A = this chain, B = another copy of it.
Amino acid sequence: MIFFGVKLIIGFIGFGEVASTLTKKLQNFDVDVITSLNNRSEKSKQLAIKSNIKVFKTYGEIAKLSDILISSNNPKSALDVAKKYGKLTKRIFLDLNNISPKTAENINEIFQNEKGDNTRNNFINGAIIGRITNENHKIIVSGIKLKEIIALNDYGLNITPISENIEDVSKLKMLRSMYTKGLTAILFETFDVASSLGLSDELFDILSLTEGKNFKKNAKSRINSLAISNERKFQEMEEVLTFLEEINNDKNKTFDSTMTIATKNKFKDFIK
């Protein structure tokens, strides 16, 4: 255990559902969780008060005091937060913003620049798989300091190392989107027809035979999600297609993206 004998300090920049859920787990151990509420939403303030954590005036203080600084905002502000506070922190800067491979690369450059040396690179790219509120969620991580970050498993977190390649976590999230959104689009299309024929329940039943136990529940939640978050999903598919173009360029090859393009178009049709 790397942090043995010292009281671990973990700081959050951004205190939403991810931060408050992780805080609850960390508080079962000898950990100080800190944040700043400067310019934060009312919801974040409420969550921080409920979580009973130490609140400081500035993010600079948080960064400097933390052994591990966790950026849990949104993909758009990820690079800016990393630039301002990433290198102030003691050991690890962990991004949990679902950033793209490109943003991961850009943030990584901040941590490499000074010495041009990766052995001192404190940046860890992380992503949450499954709903954060679901007990079975996992945090996958990539970056040089894998050993240091998985030490947090001794503090109640569920972290799975992927590789030292900083972009890998973002790539996996992209590939996961390609699959899950494609599946959502197919489910929507199939059950739209099935329900018009009065055969939805029967189709759920026969698909459940081969598609696993929770198929019906999962499929219904996917189908419903399309109607309520199709615009966000459409944007995610645009990101996935950008990612595929980058791979085509890298590999000097053309991966067929028939299904991915169709999935994007499927979501587009639902945007009013």
Check if A30 is an interface residue, CB within 8 A of chain B: no
In the complex, chain B residues whose CB is within 8 Å of the CB of A113? none
Check if A138 is an interface residue, CB within 8 A of chain B: yes
Check if A258 is an interface residue, CB within 8 A of chain B: yes
- Assess whether B207 is in contact with A176, with CB atoms less than 8 Å apart: yes
- The segment out of A12-20, A31-39, A209-217, A227-235 that lies at the interface is A209-217
In the complex, chain B residues whose CB is within 8 Å of the CB of A197? 168, 171, 175, 247
Check if A185 is an interface residue, CB within 8 A of chain B: yes
- Assess whether A178 is in contact with B172, with CB atoms less than 8 Å apart: no
In the complex, chain B residues whose CB is within 8 Å of the CB of A266? 256, 258-259
- Assess whether B215 is in contact with A194, with CB atoms less than 8 Å apart: no
- Assess whether B247 is in contact with A202, with CB atoms less than 8 Å apart: no
Count of residues in A whose CB is under 8 Å from the partner chain: 58
Q: Which of B140, B213, B251, B263 contacts A259 (CB 8 A)?
A: B263
Check if A257 is an interface residue, CB within 8 A of chain B: yes
Tell me whether A179 and B172 are in contact in the complex, defined as CB-CB below 8 angstroms, given that A196-B255, A210-B129, A212-B215 are known contacts: no
Sampled A-B contacts (29; CB under 8 Å):
A129-B206, A130-B210, A160-B205, A163-B202, A168-B197, A168-B202, A172-B199, A175-B190, A175-B194, A175-B199, A176-B206, A176-B207, A178-B186, A179-B186, A179-B203, A179-B207, A182-B182, A183-B183, A185-B259, A189-B260, A193-B244, A196-B247, A212-B213, A212-B214, A212-B218, A213-B213, A258-B266, A259-B259, A262-B262
